[in-house]
């Protein structure tokens, strides 16, 4: 495994914690990138990583992305992330969740956990048996519950902003949109796009999940092999990251990339590669902030869904500001977004 301080994705992270529990088999890494604006907040992701270096790379990138996301969303939160190593379908147990809860509790509130890929509302409740520093919990207890619908709402509003800027349209009627991933966010996004009149294509590694999402959206299923290269107006990546790379970008047939997946650019230079092809890119951590905005209102202890939605409706304004600065200065949107975020967290 690469030494942490020498790792290519290390970005002056404040703390990296490797958590292990012999009895439950817990293997987790918690990354705290910045607490400049407040406690580091970000989801717990469970995935069957090939090796520890892949897990470390993921937590370093994701925690930095959370710092940027929270800053540009105007939240009093820093950036953090936890990755739990294992297969979420076969390795997850209540005891494992509680062990992770104890590891989070050991950070004394420096890291606030929420739900991410591979985790569920029930998992958050199990973790909460060991720590109060966990959110995305049951609405019956005064929390915000599953944050995915709020994430999807922010992505929908961002897509409409991109379509307005690039295509000069205020509606999505007949706009052809490919959604990669029919998980909680992707499926809800597809449904909302369908309600807006878009022509929705959706793909997922689980055919039944893709079919259900397509039915709810009034759209159609497309294969996972073809979804990135479909002839569409908008590509909405809502699965895993690093899908915009040297192989995929030359083959894209879309005008706009705007989706919920984290870390869509495999490397920073790929933002320029998209621009050189005339493709408008909505920086992912700006677009997908709805979920963490939902969590932030839980953290405040005064959760109100109406206030959350009002806050999410500000996301398009931030996106427009990024596009305007990028156009004025001859830069790409991802570079401008990074620069804005770095100023906000005291790292410019």
Q: Which residues are catalytic?
A: 81
Please give the torsion angle defined by the CA atoms of residues 66, 56, 205 and 199, in that order, rounded to the nearest 10 degrees. Answer: 30
Q: What is the 3 state secondary structure string of 142-186?
A: CCCCCCHHHHHHHHHHHHHHHHHHHHCCCCCCCCEEEEECCCHHH
Three-class SS state of 41: strand
Which is nearest to 240 in space by CA: 258, 262, 257? 262
Q: Would you say 82 and 114 are in contact if contact means Cβ atoms under 8 Å apart?
A: no
CA dist., res. 318 & res. 335, Å (int): 14
Q: Would you say 85 and 49 are in contact if contact means Cβ atoms under 8 Å apart?
A: yes
- Up-side HSE of residue 198: CA atoms within 13 Å toward CB? 31
Q: Sheet of 78-85: strands edge to edge?
A: 15-21, 26-34, 78-85, 40-47, 111-115
């Amino acid at each position: 495994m690469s030494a942490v301080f020498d790792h290519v994705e290390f970005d002056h992270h404040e703390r990296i914690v490797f958590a292990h529990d012999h009895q439950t088999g817990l293997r987790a890494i918690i990354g705290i990138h910045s607490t400049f604006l407040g406690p580091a907040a970000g989801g717990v992701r469970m995935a069957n990583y090939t090796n520890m270096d892949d897990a470390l790379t993921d937590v370093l990138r994701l925690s930095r992305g959370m710092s940027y996301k929270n800053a540009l969303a105007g939240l009093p939160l820093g950036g953090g992330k936890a990755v739990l190593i294992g297969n979420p379908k076969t390795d997850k147990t209540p005891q494992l969740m509680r062990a992770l809860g104890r590891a989070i509790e050991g950070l004394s509130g420096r890291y606030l956990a929420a739900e991410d890929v591979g985790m569920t509302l029930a998992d958050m409740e199990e973790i909460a048996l060991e720590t109060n520093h966990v959110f995305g919990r049951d609405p019956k207890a005064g929390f915000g519950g599953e944050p995915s619908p709020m994430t999807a709402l922010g992505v929908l509003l961002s897509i409409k902003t991109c379509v307005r800027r690039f295509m000069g349209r205020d509606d999505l009627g007949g706009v052809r949109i490919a959604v990669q991933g029919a998980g909680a966010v992707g499926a809800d996004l597809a449904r909302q796009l369908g309600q807006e009149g878009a022509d929705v294509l959706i793909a997922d590694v689980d055919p039944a999940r893709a079919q259900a999402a397509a039915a709810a959206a009034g759209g159609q299923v497309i294969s996972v092999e073809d979804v990135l290269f479909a002839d569409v107006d908008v590509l909405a990546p809502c699965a895993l990251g690093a899908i915009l790379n040297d192989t995929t970008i030359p083959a894209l047939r879309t005008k706009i990339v705007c989706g919920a997946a984290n870390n869509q650019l495999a490397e920073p230079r790929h933002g320029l590669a998209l621009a050189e092809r005339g493709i408008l890119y909505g920086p992912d951590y700006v677009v997908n902030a709805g979920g963490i905005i939902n969590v932030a209102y839980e953290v405040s202890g005064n959760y109100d869904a109406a206030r959350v939605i009002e806050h999410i409706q500000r996301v398009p304004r931030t996106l427009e500001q990024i596009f305007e600065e990028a156009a004025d200065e001859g830069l790409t949107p991802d570079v401008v977004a990074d620069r804005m975020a770095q100023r906000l967290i005291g790292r410019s």
